[in-house]
Structure 1
Amino acid sequence: MPRKVRFYAAGVPSHIVQRGNNKQACFFCDDDYGFYIKALSEALIEYKVKLHAFVLMTNHVHLLMTPSDHEGISKVMQSVGRKYVRYINGIYNRTGTLWEGRHKASLIDSERYLLICQRYIELNPVRAKMVDSPEEYTWSSYQHNGIGKTIQCITPHDEYLKLGPSKQSRLNNYRELFTQQIPSEQLHHIRECLIHNYPFGGEEFKTKIEQTLDVKIGQFKQGRPIHIDDKQVN
């Protein structure tokens, strides 16, 4: 079966997911998470990519990034992947692959869906029943976006900045968003868009991407709900 094509566009945010091989763990202690963030931070600067949200789960990662050119995200993922696998293999005296093939990517219609996607990412540990609320999970951008702790590699998206004129008002309004559940149909749509590397947005957004990149994305028909173990995929 041919690989599903991934699309990136300058200035358009993308939701990225990369999983451990065979759903196995890719983080084993706090130092591992810290090294991943360090490698990611260096790559973001080198390739001029902005990171708006992330969560590092035991066996996969979610990232929400906006590149300055169409190659930036791929270069970031390649750079982080190489450094992190080298680090893990060295520390734990292992060999072979760590990640499950290529990462998944879904372009995000920022005006309508960016904050939904950002909430989806930061609620992963809650859906996986690892914590009761997002602020309890350390390795998540909610620490920055919802609590106000400084995470140097985070660049707030314009849609986040629209939440209020001051830092405190934005924090308050952002936390308020988490009192509302993301509808199940939107959760399903986000997951299917990732599986198929398909844009998360309306027809107008899809048409704009096709015109910008001079590609034909095609039609996406949502199938029956996918039953997913949140601890593995989320």
Structure 2
Amino acid sequence: MVRTPRNWSPGTTYHVTARGNRKQDLFHDDEDRRKYITYLQETKEKDPFTIHAYCLMSNHIHLLIETHDVPLERIIRILHTRYAVYFNKKYDYVGHVFQGRYGSTKIDTPSYFIKASRYIHHNPVEAKLTIHPETYPWSSYPFYIHSIDNPLLSKERTLNYFPAPQISRYKEYVEKEVQHKES
């Protein structure tokens, strides 16, 4: 069965999600997570796009991705095919690694953009994997908060939505949810 192509235009930003088949883990260890990040970087180098935020959970991923000249479906197809081949070979599995088609929600306003960024960065806290999002190593959030450069990540658009001091304002925005739950 042929899938209907998704609407796409250059410069569109999406919140992309993908889950492991039957809700199973996509990542069994840190080597798997590093491999996914490596494939993401290599895909970006081959078919340029911008990553504004990411988070690798055990059984799903979140990407805040802005396309340039290559459709989102090509980017995700290349990335997820490469990862699935690696994963199946490493664990001697066969069949689908990802559950169905990836999800993508078009980000069409600045408000929606920063809410998606907060949601992605706050996801490990919601899943009770950490108390503070900055300590979760498989998210782009520590790179924002600790001003660490990451060739995969573009922080400018996100931080430009916040007045000076931008990093502390963004941290306050993301962690506002955490502070309310601890009170």
Shared fold, TM over 0.5 = yes
Return closer, same or farther for 1:173/1:141 CA change in 2, 3 Å cut-off.
same
Q: Following TM superposition, by how much is the alpha carbon of 1:57 offset from its aligned partner in structure 2, in angstroms?
A: 0.4
Q: Distance in 1 between matches of 2:45 and 2:58?
A: 25
> Hey, what does 1:21 align to over in structure 2?
21
Q: Distance in 2 between matches of 1:26 and 1:178?
A: 26
Q: Distance in 1 between matches of 2:146 and 2:37?
A: 19
- 1:217-232 alignment runs, 5 A limit: none
> Hey, what does 2:117 align to over in structure 1?
118
Q: Distance in 1 between matches of 2:159 and 2:136?
A: 20
Q: SS at the partner of 2:176?
A: coil
Q: Following TM superposition, by how much is the alpha carbon of 1:159 offset from its aligned partner in structure 2, in angstroms?
A: 4.0
Q: Distance in 1 between matches of 2:75 and 2:19?
A: 16
Deviations 1:178-198 (CA, angstroms, capped at 9, x unpaired): 24239xxxxxxxxxxxxxxxx
Gaps of 5+ in 2: 179-183
Q: TM-score, normalised by structure 1?
A: 0.70
Match of 2:113, as an amino acid? L
RMSD: 2.1
Return closer, same or farther for 1:146/1:6 CA change in 2, 3 Å cut-off.
farther
Q: SS at the partner of 2:177?
A: coil
- 1:123-134 alignment runs, 5 A limit: 123-134=122-133
Return closer, same or farther for 1:87/1:164 CA change in 2, 3 Å cut-off.
same
Q: Distance in 2 between matches of 1:30 and 1:150?
A: 20
Q: Distance in 1 between matches of 2:72 and 2:98?
A: 17
Match of 1:51, as an amino acid? I
Q: Distance in 1 between matches of 2:41 and 2:79?
A: 9
Question: Does 2:157 match 1:173?
Answer: no
Question: Does 2:42 match 1:46?
Answer: no
Aligned partners of 2:52 and 2:158 also within 8 Å: no
Match of 2:172, as an amino acid? E
Q: TM-score, normalised by structure 2?
A: 0.88
Q: Which has the larger radius of gyration?
A: 1
Q: SS at the partner of 1:119?
A: helix
Q: How many residues align?
A: 177
Q: Distance in 1 between matches of 2:177 and 2:67?
A: 29
Return closer, same or farther for 1:73/1:179 CA change in 2, 3 Å cut-off.
same
> Hey, what does 2:181 align to over in structure 1?
none
> Hey, what does 1:9 align to over in structure 2?
9
- Select the structure that is richer in strand: 2
Q: Distance in 2 between matches of 1:67 and 1:152?
A: 16
Q: Distance in 2 between matches of 1:134 and 1:50?
A: 22
Q: Distance in 2 between matches of 1:67 and 1:157?
A: 16
Between stretches 11-20 and 151-160, larger displacement belongs to 151-160
> Hey, what does 1:105 align to over in structure 2?
104
> Hey, what does 1:86 align to over in structure 2?
85
Match of 1:156, as an amino acid? K
Q: Following TM superposition, by how much is the alpha carbon of 1:6 offset from its aligned partner in structure 2, in angstroms?
A: 3.6
Q: Following TM superposition, by how much is the alpha carbon of 1:5 offset from its aligned partner in structure 2, in angstroms?
A: 6.7
Match of 2:50, as an amino acid? K
Gaps of 5+ in 1: 183-234
Aligned partners of 1:13 and 1:64 also within 8 Å: yes
